[in-house]
Structure 1
């Protein structure tokens, strides 16, 4: 019996059938599996502008394999467009909105299977969370990454523009050079071209077994992406027939594989928000300390932008995620007996998938570093942890101590950086930007880009209870927990305090004696928030803050 039979079969389903006939269904279609296609197509997000083509290809694949494709929408925010203003407060909360609304649609209309078509930062994890909750046969096919831009024979991306703003502010480049940069950085549709959050999550979807090989890396503008979408449409029918559900694929060991690949690729620190939230929906607890344990064993094999000069299109040509998995398997660092949506094991998927370009994917014996691309730090400044993209930190900044420059919000910090009030050796502290304090946990790409563009990337660190874009590079330490809004130690930092950062040892310390910290704690008062009505206000009241991310109660 099919799940959709409850609205298609028997006398009691006559009212529902009448509405399906209103949609143009035929009697033959009433006998076939009903496949929901969750399309995130919209005309404001570059990564989603092309999803109508993916949607049509998936529909063809479903129909070719004997199913009935039915499209319904999911929202998506462009973090780049939302960056640096009030709109960024709404970005992270859309993850929950996407999961909730998709769950509602799929339960109200009992589909037999789902094909998820996401592409960007919160859209991918939101749909993975929905798939885990619903636990009906599901497969993902993303819209794919955009191609890198080119300026003066050098490849560039969205993050290049962010840093160029600061370079223009300091007089390093002209207004005309900034204008040319902004026009050339994002030359095609697709998710931004580096190993930013969207591409990180699309690659990790592949590792979790929920996307076909190539899902994370085939460029948006390639015809190969259309073929992948057709195959995903056909493959969902096989998953439905065999009754393979997300819980069969997204197992605890699959999440460990995802963390290993995360470390090898040097993914966005936002993966440390999203993987635990997805695992939570699967009934699996992910402790962030797992990241350090895995990082100690897994080498960093890729330096993709912003950490290096390679882009996701290069990763695709070098062999993609199968080649990375194949290389990690040589070291015995992944489980290869796990089932994937191909209906084959990881071992079968990666057989013979050797590296095709060793300048993009380093061999295991010659990694960029012997440890992984992300580190979780703890100490009296972040008792519950904080996260840094280690692979994007200059060698001289892995250990750093400096005087705190404290700002209660992103705008004040950005103003100080642009005005030249931040000096080499400083530690910029931006607080009250956490899930509750923001509210919404804004990304801090603009301040880090301003630091890099001002030539301070090898001498200034930044710490925040907000989060960082996958496009961030430098000694940017985010997700500090507990956050300032709930009285976390970051709320007690004062101008000029000495802060010590030791990334190799996973430590972050506020060098103030315990008695003084207690005195400051006794004087601390909650900061009043000016909250708008609606969902964001409800979110701020109910959110649980932690280094694992924002999860609604």
Structure 2
């Protein structure tokens, strides 16, 4: 505890600032100071309700004898940037959020932090900050949005894009816009936001059973108040994420992500957390569990249900109960002195239409798979449960594009036909810079019905909403001279989702000749945060975060 920071004559200048802000002398001197990074932002349903959630957290902290110190952190809505070049800022946002929390928390010497966040890279950044700061930490999530109802049918935001590409009129789109997102909360499919909210429970950063409480359910506020109370207890215990996030915990997170077919972005985040903690974790760990864990979660896009349905079907704890024979049950929980096995003893096994058992999976394949081959020797990612049978194996001619917008224009011009394999490159961590989500091209493929007819490979990312024969995170990326940079129009590519391979069917001799004439392009951003990111980020297979510091061969600065 950092009480000495606020006591004694040398701390008078600190105390006077807190007093001027309205805190009493007794509180300042005697109670744990708990920072509350609040990602409230008025322009997104995933964040616009977080002031009320944060107030509940603060009430709990006060009630348990702590001082809450709220401050704002950056927040965005990825859907706002969908289709725009600005989407490449999203991945960088994870690091900006983590750095902003680190900056404020170090200056104010908080004893602990309790972040409030919901969406995509924002909540991922909160977890990264928690791993970095080495002080007790919790995250309170904003929960999931209710599904919409349009013409008597359940709809989610992705349905609006499908309608847009299928020729809906402006009047029809307007009517659908009024219906598709009816409440606060994260979009209710297995996008990055809900994937990361759920993973927070497994990573011992979110209170068990609370991550997916719908934003419209007042249990969300009660859970936030309870989390605030527990935050004070955790602060006094001194247990930090380095104590609670072991390698076993990270492996549990991998298994959980396989089981729920989470967003492919989760791979980047889990790897970044491991690196931050000094725990050796690689794509090989994901490959290992992809062979053992099939998808048991029937939430969109792997099934017809929403995250709201998932919550009321038992949520994260029910998934972990179904995985009890696979996960490390002796791994610690957020409570420190309780293991996951002990926590799950009180959970009744109740497989259902949303959350299946391992013996009766939604699909007999993992929710995520690592793809290898000469195009991706360092790895690439696919979500097999979101790939149609028609394109789980495809061999076709490459159509090569240097950015998302060029590919989109080709799709809309009718230049992409059945059997083609799109290659979109220079959109990776350094090439974009920022590792862009290719929602523009992918939404067009889905909207025009090409998702059952073509393949796509890229060094960029995808949204958790996306589906089809799309292979991303190809590494080495084009900017680093990966084979993806050498592909030419008309080259034959073979994608075998079941076999886990993606190969360019061009001889090594031809590729060697092409490499002689390849020239690395200049960075697309010569100044600003994207330039800084490109010069300091790790490659995608190591998480793609701004972590330029080196670890020893065994990631040895922290125990496993």
The question of a shared fold, defined as TM-score above 0.5 by the shorter chain, is answered with: yes
C-alpha displacement of 1:153? 2.0
**2:482 match:** 488
**2:299 match:** 304
C-alpha displacement of 1:465? 0.7
Deviations 1:309-340 (A, max 9, x none): 111000001000000000111xx211122222
Structure 1: which 5+ runs fail to align?
none
**2:379 match:** 385
Quote the Cα distance in structure 2 between the aligned partners of 1:378 and 1:103. 36
C-alpha displacement of 1:270? 0.3
Quote the Cα distance in structure 1 between the aligned partners of 2:343 and 2:74. 32
1:324-335 matches, within 5 Å, as: 324-329=319-324, 332-335=325-328
Quote the Cα distance in structure 2 between the aligned partners of 1:206 and 1:542. 30
**1:106 match:** 105
Q: Confirm or deny that 1:239 pairs with 2:234.
A: yes
C-alpha displacement of 1:532? 5.2
Which of 185, 203, 221 lines up with 1:208 in the alignment?
203
Which of 12, 15, 25 lines up with 2:10 in the alignment?
12
Q: Confirm or deny that 1:187 pairs with 2:199.
A: no
Quote the Cα distance in structure 1 between the aligned partners of 2:524 and 2:354. 47
Deviations 1:270-290 (A, max 9, x none): 011111011111111221121
C-alpha displacement of 1:216? 2.5
**1:337 match:** 330
User: What secondary structure is seen at the aligned counterpart in 2 of 1:66?
Assistant: coil
1:92-103 matches, within 5 Å, as: 92-103=91-102
Quote the Cα distance in structure 1 between the aligned partners of 2:129 and 2:535. 23
Which of 433, 439, 445 lines up with 1:439 in the alignment?
433
**1:117 match:** 116
Contact 2:286 2:369 in 1 (8 A): yes
* 527-536 or 256-265, which deviates more: 527-536
User: What secondary structure is seen at the aligned counterpart in 1 of 2:294?
Assistant: coil
* 52-61 or 153-162, which deviates more: 153-162
Q: Confirm or deny that 1:155 pairs with 2:154.
A: yes
Quote the Cα distance in structure 2 between the aligned partners of 1:182 and 1:447. 21
User: What secondary structure is seen at the aligned counterpart in 2 of 1:457?
Assistant: helix
Deviations 1:379-412 (A, max 9, x none): 1111111101111111232221111111110011
1:168-187 matches, within 5 Å, as: 168=167, 173-187=168-182
Quote the Cα distance in structure 2 between the aligned partners of 1:200 and 1:550. 18
C-alpha displacement of 1:352? 3.9
Quote the Cα distance in structure 2 between the aligned partners of 1:431 and 1:164. 28
Quote the Cα distance in structure 2 between the aligned partners of 1:183 and 1:489. 45
Quote the Cα distance in structure 2 between the aligned partners of 1:371 and 1:423. 28
Contact 2:204 2:333 in 1 (8 A): yes
Quote the Cα distance in structure 2 between the aligned partners of 1:47 and 1:134. 25
User: What secondary structure is seen at the aligned counterpart in 1 of 2:378?
Assistant: strand
Structure 2: which 5+ runs fail to align?
549-560
C-alpha displacement of 1:471? 0.5
User: What secondary structure is seen at the aligned counterpart in 2 of 1:141?
Assistant: strand
Quote the Cα distance in structure 2 between the aligned partners of 1:458 and 1:298. 25
C-alpha displacement of 1:79? 1.0
**1:254 match:** 249
Contact 2:365 2:385 in 1 (8 A): no
C-alpha displacement of 1:182? 2.7
Quote the Cα distance in structure 2 between the aligned partners of 1:529 and 1:133. 29
User: What secondary structure is seen at the aligned counterpart in 2 of 1:213?
Assistant: coil
Deviations 1:192-226 (A, max 9, x none): 11010011011001111111123321111110110
Which of 25, 28, 34 lines up with 1:27 in the alignment?
25
1:36-435 matches, within 5 Å, as: 36-168=35-167, 173-329=168-324, 332-343=325-336, 344-354=338-348, 356=350, 358-435=352-429
Contact 1:374 1:387 in 2 (8 A): yes
C-alpha displacement of 1:176? 2.9
**1:470 match:** 464
**2:529 match:** 535
C-alpha displacement of 1:416? 1.2
Contact 2:477 2:485 in 1 (8 A): yes
Quote the Cα distance in structure 1 between the aligned partners of 2:283 and 2:494. 21
Contact 2:268 2:541 in 1 (8 A): yes
RMSD (Å), alpha carbons = 1.5
Deviations 1:416-447 (A, max 9, x none): 11122211111111111111111111101221
Quote the Cα distance in structure 1 between the aligned partners of 2:348 and 2:160. 34
User: What secondary structure is seen at the aligned counterpart in 1 of 2:269?
Assistant: helix
User: What secondary structure is seen at the aligned counterpart in 2 of 1:69?
Assistant: strand
Quote the Cα distance in structure 2 between the aligned partners of 1:380 and 1:417. 26
User: What secondary structure is seen at the aligned counterpart in 2 of 1:406?
Assistant: strand
Q: TM-score, normalised by structure 1?
A: 0.96
**2:555 match:** none
C-alpha displacement of 1:546? 3.0
Deviations 1:224-282 (A, max 9, x none): 11011001100011112222111111110000000001000000000111110111111
Quote the Cα distance in structure 1 between the aligned partners of 2:179 and 2:218. 23
Contact 1:82 1:88 in 2 (8 A): yes
- When residues 530 and 132 of structure 1 are mapped into structure 2, their CA distance, relative to the original with a 3 A threshold, is closer
Quote the Cα distance in structure 2 between the aligned partners of 1:162 and 1:278. 33
Quote the Cα distance in structure 2 between the aligned partners of 1:213 and 1:34. 24
Contact 2:431 2:478 in 1 (8 A): yes
Contact 2:431 2:524 in 1 (8 A): no
Quote the Cα distance in structure 1 between the aligned partners of 2:288 and 2:460. 24
**2:553 match:** none
